[in-house]
Structure 1
Amino acid sequence: MEKISLLDCPVWFDKTSMLDMLSLAAGRSFLCQNRMGEKIVGQANWGLDPMKGVIRFGEREFTAGVLGTESTIQNTWLWSWAHTESGLPERSVAVSRRVRRALPDLPEFQTGKFMLDELHNGHALAMISVGASGENLCYYRCPYDGGAAFVTVSGLPEEIFAPADAQEFLHQYIEIISGFYCDHRLLAAGFLHQNGTPFTAGENFIAADFDNRKIRFTFEQTEDGLSRVMDISEI
């Protein structure tokens, strides 16, 4: 499927908010990450060559771009575009530059190094990066002593990015809201948009058309200003 950027999602969101951007990105990212885990990674050994821009899972090789690194010693994130002493070639850091340009209003993507916390971590930054990239990408966490590198993975089979039908969509959506802090309305809107599923949205509802099924999501506002899903039903 042709990649659809979360930045074009036709609902209002705060482009300066990390949580809003993560909510928009999470659905599609979780779906594709799970598919990559099942179909590509499995129990295979992995190997990363950042100088060549290559990651391997078993005997399979894919193009890798370095987004940045987490330091468990300093508890910080460092973007690869800001790590000028790394010696990495431009082809390896180019993806981090592209997502920086794509998200000029999001402070976390314009600041080279910052502290990690529950919201600001490599997984969240990678999910937003993949969603805003305009490319069919997944990501992978590559741990090492003292931290981990987060890299994009491209050249994956098209089936990884195929649209989810209503059943798969709902399964993934419910799984996410069961254990992931986010705005449920933006999660639904971003997921539907990147899935290529037509939908209409109001302040407290979203109605999605999955060809053979029409699904309505109803939301309420929480005390912390986020939307929480109250009902999911067929219409």
Structure 2
Amino acid sequence: MSIFKKLFGKESKKEDSQTSLNGFSTYEKPDWYSLNELLSLHAGLSLEKQLIFGDVIGDNSWQFDMGSGTISFGDNLTFPVQVIGSLSFNDNSWMWGWANAQSGIPEHLLEQSMQLKSIGEEKKVKELVEGHFSVEENFEHKIGMIACGYFSSKSYYCANYGQGTLVVTIDSDQIPAIEKSRLEKVITVFPQLIGNIELNHKEAFVNYLIDRGFQLKVEEDKIEGLNGGKLIVGEFDQLSRLKSLNGKL
């Protein structure tokens, strides 16, 4: 079966007649059955949010206050957080926040972590239900991207505390929202994503375009996105790796 039939078998019935005639259609995001598929659903937009957040905090160091449930950067930036989990540098292992009983994390800071466990149980995704396990490089960023996207958070943050990294999601009106009109950001953000995170390029690209409000024309080796007269085209090899990315913006 074609991957596109699997991924995009459910099209919106509310299609613009002009773009439909040109071969473009409105697609919904597919269901997911693994951690990697869940990552592909959210990675593009989550990285764009992360880059915005990086501009907000600059070079300020961080400080986590578990009592108030906040993380601060410098003297003027304080944000509420949800604790997702942590990565240990000692053995390169991941521990979910809900499994870290010895840290005494308040339950109200673990709501998202617990929800990820719950959907993992429903979907039978072992990485979401095992409390502590060995992981590969950049796993903490993958989880941050998943949580940020799944919960529609403003950003995630990986706080390096020397022996490991604490992963949190952040929501605050102090963090600017994505500028929907700046469609050219896809051209700069997506190459950064695939250059740093291992994932299916084609699936992640399609889901990023869906998040950015594009209508799509889907072919086996090419994905075209149209939004407000602006066109973005990604070409892929037989292994779904990006070969070229261009835009008429």
Q: TM-score, normalised by structure 1?
A: 0.82
Q: Which amino acid is the alignment partner of residue 108 of structure 1?
A: E
Which whole-Å CA distance do the structure 1 matches of 2:171 and 2:29 have between them? 28
1:71 and 2:88 matched: yes
Give the share of equivalent positions with the same residue, in percent. Answer: 25
Shift of 1:233: 4.4
Q: Is the 8 A contact 2:57 2:77 kept in 1?
A: no
Shift of 1:48: 0.7
What does residue range 73-222 of structure 1 map to in structure 2 within 5 Å?
73-103=90-120, 104-105=122-123, 106-118=125-137, 121-133=139-151, 135-157=152-174, 159-163=176-180, 165-222=182-239
Shift of 1:99: 2.6
The 1:97–1:218 alpha-carbon spacing in structure 2 relative to 1, beyond 3 Å, is: same
Which whole-Å CA distance do the structure 2 matches of 1:158 and 1:36 have between them? 6
Which whole-Å CA distance do the structure 1 matches of 2:181 and 2:191 have between them? 14
Partner of 1:41: 57
Which whole-Å CA distance do the structure 1 matches of 2:102 and 2:192 have between them? 40
Q: Is the 8 A contact 2:96 2:131 kept in 1?
A: yes
SS of residue in 1 equivalent to 2:54:
helix
Which whole-Å CA distance do the structure 2 matches of 1:90 and 1:157 have between them? 25
Q: Is the 8 A contact 1:219 1:228 kept in 2?
A: yes
The 1:164–1:45 alpha-carbon spacing in structure 2 relative to 1, beyond 3 Å, is: farther
Partner of 2:242: 229
Shift of 1:179: 4.4
Q: Is the 8 A contact 1:204 1:218 kept in 2?
A: yes
Partner of 1:23: 40
Shift of 1:54: 0.6
RMSD: 2.4
Partner of 1:51: 67
User: Structure with the greater relative contact order (CA < 8 A, sep ≥ 6): 1 or 2?
Assistant: 1
Shift of 1:185: 0.9
Q: Is the 8 A contact 1:215 1:232 kept in 2?
A: yes
Shift of 1:195: 2.2
1:41-91 superposed Cα distances (whole Å, 9 cap, x missing partner): 102232111232111122121111111111112321110111223222111
Which whole-Å CA distance do the structure 1 matches of 2:148 and 2:190 have between them? 18
Q: TM-score, normalised by structure 2?
A: 0.78
Aligned length: 220
Q: Is the 8 A contact 2:154 2:175 kept in 1?
A: no
1:76-112 superposed Cα distances (whole Å, 9 cap, x missing partner): 1110111223222111111211233344423211111
Shift of 1:200: 3.7
The 1:54–1:209 alpha-carbon spacing in structure 2 relative to 1, beyond 3 Å, is: same
Q: Is the 8 A contact 1:65 1:93 kept in 2?
A: yes
Which whole-Å CA distance do the structure 2 matches of 1:181 and 1:213 have between them? 28
Q: Which amino acid is the alignment partner of residue 205 of structure 2?
A: A
Which whole-Å CA distance do the structure 2 matches of 1:50 and 1:209 have between them? 44
Which whole-Å CA distance do the structure 1 matches of 2:227 and 2:162 have between them? 45
Deviates more, 1:203-212 or 1:26-35: 203-212
Structure 1: gaps of 5 or more residues? 1-7
Shift of 1:174: 2.5
Structure 2: gaps of 5 or more residues? 1-9, 11-26
